[in-house]
Structure 1
Amino acid sequence: MKLLNPGHVIDGFEIQACLHAGGMAHIYTVQYALSEDGTRRESEFPMAMKIPRMTAGDGAENIVSFEVEHQILPALSGSHVPRFVAAGDLSRTPYLVMEYVQGSTLETWRENFHKESFQAGLHDRAIARVGAELAHAAHSLHKQNVCHLDLKPANVLIRPNGKVVLLDFGLSCHAHYPDLLAEEMRKAVGSPAWIAPEQVVGVRGDPRSDIFAIGVMLYELATGELPFGEPATAGGMRQRLWMDPVPPRKRNPQVPEWLQEVILKCLHPEAAKRYPSAAHLAMDLGNPDQIRITERGQQIKGTGFKEHFKRWLKAAGMHYQPSPLPSKQIKEVPILMVALPHADVSDATWYSLREAVDRSLGIRPGARLACVTVISPNDTSSTDSSKSESSVHRMHLARMQQWSQGLDLHDHQVSFHVLEASDVAHALVTYAKSNEVGMVIMGAATHGLQMQRFVATVPIKVAMNAPCTVILVKQDVPFEFLGTLNDK
C-alpha cells in the first residue's frame, strides 16, 4: 500500500502523520475520525496504526507476520507491550491500531552511548539498568507463554522513566496458538545479527532464545560491535551453533568482569547453559556486585580452535527437541526468596528455615536463592560510627552468609539483600514482585519470640499479598539438637 496522507480515514480512524515507512510496514499516528454530528471520540492514550506492505514485490512473510501479530498482540497484557485497540481484516485493509508509546528505541539510545565513558565507571551500570528492564519485559512475555524471537534494538522502546516496551510481534510464537511461521516458512526466521542458535535450525518457542538476543544487545552496547557480525547466509548464521564471540574485554578493556560474565552466559551456544529464565538475568544485572565471576568473565583470549571443533562435532549430531511451554519452563527454575529475621531470632528458627530452603532447592535444580532481611531505618540513623548504614548492612550480610553455609548450594546461585523499611510485610512483597520471585519461604513468626503477639500478622500479610506461593515454616528441631542449641 502506498503512503497515506493526513486526513485519510480507515474504519473510523483518521491518519495524522507517518512515523515510519519500512520494508515490512508503514506506521502512522491516528485519532478517531469525526462522527456525522461533528464530534470526535477521545482516546485514553495516543494511538498508532501499523499497515503491512503487501505489494506484488513483497514476500509472503509480510502477510504471515501480520497474521501472527494480529493473533498475538490482542492476547498480551502488561506495561511491557502496547495496548491493543483494533485490527483490520486481510480481505479489506489489513491494519493494527495500538497504543503509541512515547519514548526512544534502544537503537537511538545506543547511538548516544559512548564506550569511552566506561572510564568514568558509569556506563556499565547504565547498561545493566537497561538490560535488567529488558529482561523484565521479556520475562513478562514468557509468563504469558509468548516468545518474542525478534528482539533487537529497533524493537525495544525505552520510556522516559526507563521502563522498556517491546514492539513488533510479527515473528513471535504463542504456545497456545498455531505457529503460522513454522508452518509457512521452511527456513530460519529471525534477524541475522540477533537470532539464537536453536532458531537457526528451526526450533521456535524457547524463551532462552530471547535471552540470547538480549546478550547480543548487551555485547553491542559494551563493545560497539555485534558479536557475530551480520551474516548474510544460512552458513554464516549456523556458526553460532558452536562458536563463541570475541570476549568483550578484548574489544573494550574497560568492560568489567561481571558484565562480561553476564554477556557470555547469555550467548552460550547451548540454550541449557544460558540463564534459565530472564528473571535470573534481571537479578544478576540488578546486583552486579554479587555476580559470581568465573573464568568466563576473566578471559581475554577467547575459546580456542580445539574447543570450537568439539562443539562443531556435537552440534552436527545434536537433535533439537521442540520447546516445552515457556511458563512451565520458568516455573521449574524459580527464584526462591527466604525472609530471614534480623533480630531476636532463636537457633530453632534459623534451623527450621534452613531445612525448608534445603528441601525446596533440592527438588528444583537450577533455582536461584535470594536471602532477604528487613531492618528498620532507625537501625542505621545513629551517629555512632559502628552503627553506620554500611557497617549495619555488612553485619546483616555476614549473618545471612553464615546462615547459608549449611545449605547445599550446588548448581544454585545465591545472593544476599538487606532492605530498610518500617513496614516489613510491604517491603517483602514489593521485593518479591519486582524481582519475579516464584516462592517465598519465611518463619511463621519471623521477628522474634518476644514480639510475636505484636507482629504475628506480618507473615499473614505477606501470604495474602505476595504474587507467588508463600511457605510459612514452624520451628521444628530434632531432639538431638535441643541440648546443643540451649547451650549456646
Structure 2
Amino acid sequence: MERPQTGSVIDGFTLTERLKAGGMATLWRASHPEEAAPLVLKIPFFDPGDDVSAILGYEAEALIHRRLSGPHVPRFVGAGDLARTPYIAMEYVAGTSLAETIRRAPLPATEVTRIGEAVAVALADLHRQGVVHLDLKPENVMLTGNGAVLLDFGLAHHAELPDLLGAESTMPMGTAAYIAPEQVLGERSDPASDLFALGCVLYQLACGEEPFGRPQTVAGMKRRLYHAPKPLRAVDPAIPAWLDEIVRRCLEVDRGRRYAEAGKLAFDLRHPEQVTVSRQRRGSRPRGLWQRLVALFQKRDAQEITGAPTQARRKAGPSIILAAVDLSAGESPLAGAILAETGRLLAAREDSWLACVTVLRTEIIRETQSVDAEGRSLYIKRLVALKDWARPLHLPEERVSYHVIEAVSAADAILRHSERNDIDHIVLGARSSSTLRRHLGSVSTKVVAEAACSVSVVRVKGGAEE
C-alpha cells in the first residue's frame, strides 16, 4: 500500500488534510461525492514485523463500529479491504477533545460533574448496544454542544461478536492510567470496566493527578487491585464530599460496590444532593496482604478479587467449532475437504460459531520471514487467504472469526487456542502416511491425543499432498 498523502483517493474518498498520527493509525479529513458532511478516514499502520494487535484491533473496530448508532458515536460510513487499503471512514466530529480540557485540571466541581455526566450518558448508550469500550481515556472523548462522543473502538468488546483480541491474548489490554482491575486480569466483557476508567478521568479532572499514575509494567498495573489511590479530599480538602464519594464508588475494585450502570452514575452526578456520603471508607480490598499478593498472580482468583464473572465454559450456549487449515501452499483438496466437513457441522447446529485458524510457522534458530518477495506482509496475506477459504460457507460476521497464529508448532498452537477459547469441536486435516511421520508423529495425532474436546480428522482419498 502506498503511503497516503494530501490529494490521495482511496475507494472514492479524497484525503484533504492530515489531522494527526496516533500510535496505531493516522487520521485524515476526507470528502466523498456521495457524502455531504465532512468525513474522517482512520488509516492504520501495518508495518511488517510489527505486533499483530494492530491488525486485530482494526478488524474488531470495523466489525463493531458499523453496528453502532446514535449521537454518542461518529456515524460509520465504510471500511476498506484488508487486502488492498484498510481504513475506517466516519463522520467528522466537531468539538473539543477531553484531552485538551484535562490539561486545565484541576477544574471546578461543577465542570467536573458536567463533563462526567456527559460521558456517563454516552457510555450508557454504548452499553445498551451491547458494547464495552475498554479504552476510555481523555483522548477518546470529544465534547460537543450535545454532550460527549466516544471514539476509537479498537479494544472494544461486542457481546454478540467474537472477541478477536481476547481470543489471541490474555495480556492486559488498555491504557495503563485508566485500565480497570479486571482488565488487568484478562476480563473483557463487563461494562463496569468503563465506569472505573471514567472514575480515573473524574479524579484527574478534579485534582489534576492520575489516581494510579502511568505504570509501565503489568505488575505496576496490578497494584490497583490492592492499593487504593489517595482520596480526593486528601489531595484537596475543597473538593466536595459528594464528588469524592462518587469517584470512590467508580474506583472500587470489588464490582459489587462499584457503580453497576452508567445511568446510575449519570444520575448521581446530576443530583449530587442525593449522594449518600460514607462516614468511612469500607474495606474494598480483599482479605489480608499475603492472600491479596498471592491472588494477584493466580488468574483463577479473578472472581474472588474483583467480583468478576470469569470466562466459564458455556455449557448451554452456542458451540464453537475450530477449523484448522494449512494454507501455506494455497488452496488444496485437503483444505476443500476440511471446508466441507466444517460446513456439515455448522449446518447441524445453526447457533454455533466458527473460529478459522491457520498457523504461520516461525523459526527457532534463524530469523522468521515476515514479508514476501514483493514486500507484502505474510500475516495479512494469510489472513486474507483464510477469509477467502471460508467465504463459501456464507456465514454472517457474528458467527465467524479468523485467526492467524504465529508459532513454531502447529499442534501446540491449535491446542493452546482451543483451550483458551473453550472450543467444543476441532476440525483439521491429516497428511498422507510416511515412515518419517510414523516416527515423529503428526499435527493431527497430537491434537487428537491432547485436545480437551472432540476432534474430526479429515483425509483425502488416495492421500493428501499437504
Alignment of 1:315-330 (within 5 A): 318-320=301-303, 321-322=309-310
What is residue 401 of structure 1 aligned with on the other side? none
| Aligned pair partner of 1:288 in 250, 264, 272 | 272
**CA deviation profile, 1:215-274 (whole Å, cap 9, x unmatched):** 000011111111111111111111111221111111122211000000011001112210
What letter is aligned with 1:209? S
Is the contact between residue 106 and residue 206 of structure 2 (CA under 8 Å) also seen in structure 1?
Answer: no
Alignment of 1:4-403 (within 5 A): 4-32=4-32, 41=33, 43-115=35-107, 123-159=108-144, 161=145, 163-296=147-280, 312=293, 318-320=301-303, 321-322=309-310
Q: Could you say what the CA RMSD is over the residues aligned between the two structures, in angstroms?
A: 2.3
Tell me whether 183-192 or 284-293 shows the greater mean CA deviation.
Answer: 183-192
**CA deviation profile, 1:98-142 (whole Å, cap 9, x unmatched):** 011001111101113444xxxxxxx10110011011011111111
Query: Structure 2: how far apart are the matches of 1:238 and 1:194?
Result: 12
Query: Structure 2: how far apart are the matches of 1:296 and 1:312?
Result: 25
> C-alpha displacement at 1:184, in angstroms?
1.4
Cα pair distance change 1:307/1:66, threshold 3 Å: same
Query: Structure 2: how far apart are the matches of 1:304 and 1:206?
Result: 19
Is the contact between residue 130 and residue 162 of structure 1 (CA under 8 Å) also seen in structure 2?
Answer: no
Cα pair distance change 1:291/1:29, threshold 3 Å: same
Cα pair distance change 1:305/1:148, threshold 3 Å: closer
What letter is aligned with 1:145? G
Query: Structure 1: how far apart are the matches of 2:267 and 2:290?
Result: 33
SS in 1 for 2:35: coil
TM-score, normalised to structure 1, is 0.59
SS in 1 for 2:72: coil
Larger of the two Rg values belongs to structure: 1
TM-score, normalised to structure 2, is 0.62
Query: Structure 1: how far apart are the matches of 2:113 and 2:289?
Result: 29
Is the contact between residue 131 and residue 282 of structure 1 (CA under 8 Å) also seen in structure 2?
Answer: yes
Q: Per residue, is there more helix in 1 or in 2? A: 1
Query: Structure 2: how far apart are the matches of 1:201 and 1:287?
Result: 34
> C-alpha displacement at 1:93, in angstroms?
0.5
What letter is aligned with 1:5? Q
> C-alpha displacement at 1:303, in angstroms?
8.7
Query: Structure 2: how far apart are the matches of 1:4 and 1:88?
Result: 14
Cα pair distance change 1:275/1:11, threshold 3 Å: same
Query: Structure 1: how far apart are the matches of 2:161 and 2:173?
Result: 17
**CA deviation profile, 1:298-343 (whole Å, cap 9, x unmatched):** x9xx99999766755666672432479xxxxxxxxxxxxxxxxxxx
Is the contact between residue 260 and residue 296 of structure 1 (CA under 8 Å) also seen in structure 2?
Answer: no
> C-alpha displacement at 1:186, in angstroms?
3.0
Unaligned runs of 5+ in 1: 33-40, 116-122, 325-488
Alignment of 1:422-433 (within 5 A): none
Unaligned runs of 5+ in 2: 304-308, 313-466
Cα pair distance change 1:309/1:136, threshold 3 Å: farther
Query: Structure 2: how far apart are the matches of 1:126 and 1:291?
Result: 18
Cα pair distance change 1:218/1:2, threshold 3 Å: farther
Query: Structure 2: how far apart are the matches of 1:304 and 1:153?
Result: 27
Cα pair distance change 1:304/1:97, threshold 3 Å: closer
What letter is aligned with 1:185? S
> C-alpha displacement at 1:185, in angstroms?
2.1
Identity rate of aligned residues, in percent? Answer: 43
Runs of at least 4 residues off by over 4 Å: 302-317
Cα pair distance change 1:90/1:292, threshold 3 Å: same
SS in 2 for 1:318: helix
Cα pair distance change 1:306/1:143, threshold 3 Å: closer
